[in-house]
Amino acid sequence: MLKPVYVLNGPNLNRLGQREPAIYGTTTLDEIEALCRQAAGPEGLVFRQTNSESCLIDWIHEATDQSCGLVINPAAFTFYSMAVMDALKMYPHPLIEYHISNIHRREPMYHNSLVSAHATMVMAGGGAAGYPHALRLLREMISGQASAERLSGTG
């Protein structure tokens, strides 16, 4: 039985489409979810957003046990939450850190991600459309990993 992929979103991303469109665009999170559902495969998709650090950590633990890959936009937690970083360190499957804006072109406080060192891939600046791209890349990583495991006899 295939495990689903998870897409998890951190604080304030529920406000997408309403404020700071010059930075984050005009697409809402519901529309991003619809784009992700189109890009999802037969394994299924769990798509969620929270403004709570403890909730995000619980969902990362849930994904650790119940998913085969994770795309996460930890939003502001990216830069200061050691607890989110520690939870992601334990994540055992392909993991993509995604940011709608190019955090490296922004103010210096947005340059130091605690998460990046523990991600399989880091993507930033693709806007709303970057989410389904990230999901497709994640699915390629998962199928690559599954075929490598089949070849080595560990799968």
Work out whether 24 is an interface residue with ligand CA2 (CB under 6 A): yes
Work out whether 99 is an interface residue with ligand CA2 (CB under 6 A): yes
Terminal Cα distance for the chain, rounded? 13
Residues 6+ apart with CB under 8 A from 56: 8, 10, 50, 74, 77, 84, 87
Q: Which of 40, 75, 134, 141 touches ligand CA2 by CB under 6 A?
A: 75
- Active-site residue, from 24, 91, 98, 131: 24
Name the one residue in this structure whose structure tokens are 């010059």: 22
Q: Which residue, 76 or 121, is less far from ligand CA2 as judged by CB?
A: 76
Quote the least distance from Cβ 5 to ligand CA2, whole Å.
19
Q: How many CB atoms lie within 10 A of CB 70?
A: 25
Work out whether 128 is an interface residue with ligand CA2 (CB under 6 A): no
Q: Please give the single-letter amino acid code of residue 85.
A: M
Quote the least distance from Cβ 42 to ligand CA2, whole Å.
28
Quote the least distance from Cβ 4 to ligand CA2, whole Å.
22
Alpha helices in 81-129 (DSSP H): 82-89
Q: Residues with catalytic annotation?
A: 24, 99
